[in-house]
Structures are given as structure tokens and as C-alpha cells.
Amino acid sequence: MLSLLSLFLLSTSILGSPLGDYEKELKKEGLNVENIHKLLKEESKEVEEEFGNKEAQAEIKKLRTLYASTCPANGTLQEVKTELVINGELAKDLFEGDIVLTPEQWKIALEKDPENPMQRRQALTQAIQMWQPMGAPVIPYTYEPGFPADKKQIILESQRYWELRTCVRFRPATSADRNVVSYNHNSGGCSSSVGMNGGKQTINLAPGCMSVTIVAHEISHAFGTLHVQSRSDRDQYVQIDTANIQKGLEHNFMRDPPYYGALSTYGIPYELGSMQHYSEKAFAIDRNRPTIYAKTAYSQYQYSMEAPRATFYDTLLINKMYKCNDRCQNRISCQNNGVQDGSDCNKCFCPRGWAGTNCEKRPADAQIVNLNGSDKLRVEVGDGVNYREKLYIIQAPVGKRIQATVNRVGDRQWNDCRFIGMEIVPTKDTRNSGFRFCANSRIQPITSDSNTMLVWVYTDNQRFNAEISFTIGN
């Protein structure tokens, strides 16, 4: 069983192989491929039905019109190479574009009541396996043959990124390790399985996937996270436009997908701006239009899906999943919505705009901008080579509020804010991510709920600039 599983995992790592080979492996695992086909069809139907009702269709129609009126003209934007763009046709062999399902997960999904196929088996337990031990999980890692030495630095940086924020630790695998993550560069795309599979599991990272942005996202899947839009409460936040999804791929937009058993959100609120939320144009027929719309109440988030780095809540999710704070003997009090740090019990993990042991002060490298009345600010970041970010803290007199209007974005503009852009956080509670801009989308002015507003700019390896106007109001 174990060797077959490794064989399966090995074969799925040879990405680019046609679905035929993939199916052969599933057959070897004793899975009924015809039932899988049936399952995918049912799932696609389920998604279509979920959003096929009159009310949803009416809202989608409104959202399409709104999008058309705020989106910059087609053809003027640079296409951003997200995982799904890189994966291309390959994404069809995966789940939700970048997830490798294990035979066990397929089996779980197929375990339905044959008399009532639309009814999922009740009382499924959590089927995502976690790395052990809880509270201090260790992930042994290695590289598949041929992994270029000069790309290993990005892996180490991405692992370090998570180690600094969570209690998860990585160490080079030894021959005694049974459960190992292996980074594979000889693949067609970027993908990972969800949680610990048991045995060796590959994180596939083709040449286009070699950035901390993508590697950290794929590692998060290996920790056990799914995409946010598959949460059971997603229908309160997003509308899926199935008319713009390539036929037969609708199953990738399932709510509460059955492959993982009972899912928990760990009490984390739904976040459109999460690092694990799908890009809005995934699997689109017309890539100038979204497949996922933020519902009317959240439409300012339309360009905010898929963060370049883990958000506060993305980080909290990992720390809750692995019970990172359970090992802390002490309790520490944190200000400004901070929480005890998953990586270090003696300090707080702070939401954006806060720093210090107890989140009591502003980050030393933030630029404070005190408004005088009507101010124009040019924000910029990037050296054209490395990942760079910069935070501006905009302040008005106490008791006043700030209105921001984005006048102009950059010299170049992008169709997705994953790797480059600007985020405006208008809320005093900065745990939730804000509104992102990476093109001259005509979004209405943004008003703060206190006398401060954050502007966070970021770029992977380019340069970004924008101009914002601020006015002080009551």
C-alpha cells in the first residue's frame, strides 16, 4: 500500500502527463475511474445549481455591469502569471487548479450513499492529516533529483517565512524519516497536496513558480489549508459566475469539497484578501471577466483576492490548526488586536501597522504621513530585483476621518494584484486585509473608520508607484 502510494505520488509529480496516466494510477489504487467521472459531473452540476437560482443570477448580472464599469480597458493590462496561469491545461488534472488529491481523498469523496448520490456521507471526521507533534510540528524536507542549487534559496526563504510566524519547523530529511516533503522542479506547474499524506509527498514548483509568494502558498496547502472560497460559508461573500467557467471544470468551485471530510474554519473569519483565496479569473472562458465576484456588500474587494503574502488571518489559521500557543507556559497581553505569537511565546504577533513586544507601537520602518488638509501622496516601492514592501501610515487629527481616492496606479498596470500592487486598509482593526489596487480600476473613494489609514505597497521583483489624494472629513 505504501509503495503504491509513493508510486502514485511520484507519478503525479511528473506533471504534464495526460489525465490517462493519472487515471491509471488511480485504478491501481483500486479506485473506480468511472465513478470519479460521475462524481466530477455531479459536483459541477451542484455548483451550477448553487448559483443558478434567480436571486444569484440577478446579483451576478449587476456585478458584471459594475465590473465592466470599473475595470480598465481590455488589452491595456499586463497578465500576471499566477499558479493557474502557469499550470495552464495541467490545472485540469488537479483540484482547484493547484491541489493534488491523494487516492485516500478520492475514496472519501466517493463514499456517498449510492441511493442518494447528492447526499454526502454524514459525520465525516477531519480527513486532513497534520504534521506532528501538535504544538511543535516538524516537517522533514528534501529535493527531487535535478532541483537547481541556485533555486534552493527561495525554498529556504519560504520555509523561514512560515517559521518566523508559526510553530512549524523544517529540517533536512534523513533516511530515517518516513513522512517527507520533497520539492520538485521538473514539473509542469505549481501544486501541492493538502496536509501530510504519509510517505514522501512532492511540492511541485516549475520554473515559473519560484517566488516566495507561490512557494509559501503551496507550503500552506502542505500544512493542511484549502482555498478560502471552498469554505462552507462562502456563499455569504462571493458569487460564482458559472457562465464564465470552462465547461466541465465547475467542480473546482465546490463549496465544502467532499475530499477532506469534515472541515473546520478554526474560527477564522472569511477573508476575500487571503493568500489562499482564488484569483477571480481562475478557469475563466473570458479572462477579462471574473469567475468569482465579491458580493455587492464586499464589491470593493473585487481586485483584492489572492494576497502576495500571508495575511494576519492566514497566519492565525496555521497557528490554530497546529495549536501553536498550547505549548506556551505564559500568557501575554497584546494591544491593537495582536495575539500571542505562534513562533515565540514571549511576544505578540501584530496585525498590519503595529509592532513591538505587545503590538504597542508603530513599525520603525513605516512612513508616517500627517495630513494637513487636502494632500496628494506618491507611494512607491521596489528595486526591480527583490521582493520589497513599504507601509505608509496616514494620520488625521483625532476625531477626524480620512477619505482616499486613488488617482493613478503606476507606469504599468496588471490584471491581478497577486505580486505587485497596493493595499489600502481603512479600518482601525487591521486584522482583515484591505482593498488592493494594481491598475486604474475606477473604485469609489475609500473612507476610514478612524483617524488613521494604512497604505501598504508591495512588489515581487519590479517597481510600483501610485498617487493617492487624501481629504480630511468628519
- Residues contributing to the annotated binding site for Zn(2+): 217, 221, 227
Binds Zn ion by CB under 5 A, chosen from 43, 50, 98, 460:
98
Side chain identity, residue 188? G
Could you tell me if 433 and 311 are in contact, meaning their C-beta atoms sit under 8 angstroms apart?
Answer: yes
CB of 219 to Zn ion, least distance (A): 10
CB of 312 to Zn ion, least distance (A): 19
The C-alpha atoms of residue 403 and residue 235 are separated, in whole angstroms, by 30
Strand pairing class (180-184; 138-143): parallel
Please identify every residue annotated as catalytic. 218
**Which of 316, 287, 290, 286 lies closest to 303 in space, CA to CA?**
290
Which listed range, 63-71, 92-100, 370-378, 383-391, lies at the site for Zn ion (CB under 5 A)? 92-100
Please list the residues that pair with 405 across neighbouring strands: 469
CB of 218 to Zn ion, least distance (A): 7
Nearest to Zn ion of 227, 388 (CB atom): 227
Which listed range, 93-101, 302-310, 342-350, 424-432, lies at the site for Zn ion (CB under 5 A)? 93-101
Nearest to Zn ion of 98, 423 (CB atom): 98
Report long-range pairs for 244-249 (Cβ below 8 Å, ≥24 apart): 244/284, 244/285, 244/286, 244/289, 244/290, 244/291, 245/283, 245/284, 245/285, 245/291, 246/283, 246/284, 246/285, 248/40, 248/41, 248/44, 249/44, 249/92, 249/283
CB of 226 to Zn ion, least distance (A): 8
**In the complex, residue closest to Zn ion by CB:** 98
Which listed range, 20-28, 90-98, 104-112, 356-364, lies at the site for Zn ion (CB under 5 A)? 90-98
The C-alpha atoms of residue 6 and residue 21 are separated, in whole angstroms, by 15
Task: Tell me whether residue 177 is exposed, middle or buried, using C-beta atoms within 10 angstroms of its C-beta: 0 to 12, 13 to 18, 19 or more.
Answer: middle
Nearest to Zn ion of 85, 439 (CB atom): 85
CB of 221 to Zn ion, least distance (A): 6
Q: Does 306 bind Zn ion (CB under 5 A)?
A: no
Nearest to Zn ion of 93, 98 (CB atom): 98
The C-alpha atoms of residue 454 and residue 327 are separated, in whole angstroms, by 33
What is the DSSP code string of 179-204? SEEEEE-SSSSEEEESS--SSEEEEE
Q: Which three cell numbers stand for residue 291?
A: 469567475
Which listed range, 96-104, 176-184, 405-413, 436-444, lies at the site for Zn ion (CB under 5 A)? 96-104
Q: Which three cell numbers stand for residue 164?
A: 518566523
Nearest to Zn ion of 270, 470 (CB atom): 270
φ/ψ region of 123 (left if φ > 0, alpha if ψ in -120 to 50, else beta) reads left
Could you tell me if 403 and 473 are in contact, meaning their C-beta atoms sit under 8 angstroms apart?
Answer: yes
CB of 433 to Zn ion, least distance (A): 17
Per-residue binding string, Zn ion, 32-61, x by CB under 5 A, is ------------------------------
Which listed range, 31-39, 94-102, 155-163, 325-333, lies at the site for Zn ion (CB under 5 A)? 94-102
Residues touching Zn ion, count (CB under 5 A): 1
Which listed range, 98-106, 144-152, 158-166, 340-348, lies at the site for Zn ion (CB under 5 A)? 98-106
CB of 385 to Zn ion, least distance (A): 26
Q: Which three cell numbers stand for residue 246?
A: 470552462
Nearest to Zn ion of 98, 341 (CB atom): 98
CA distances from 194 to 105, 203, 217 (A): 10, 10, 11
CB of 94 to Zn ion, least distance (A): 9
Nearest to Zn ion of 225, 441 (CB atom): 225
What is the DSSP code string of 170-185? EEE--TT-SSEEEEE-
The angle formed by the CA atoms of residues 70, 75 and 81, to the nearest 5 degrees, is: 95
What is the DSSP code string of 427-471? SSS-SS--EEESS---PPPEE-SSSEEEEEEEESSS-EEEEEEEE
Strand, coil or helix: 380: strand
Task: Tell me whether residue 473 is exposed, middle or buried, using C-beta atoms within 10 angstroms of its C-beta: 0 to 12, 13 to 18, 19 or more.
Answer: exposed
Contacts of 385 (CB under 8 A, 6+ apart): 461
Nearest to Zn ion of 26, 222 (CB atom): 222
Residues that bind Zn ion (CB under 5 A): 98
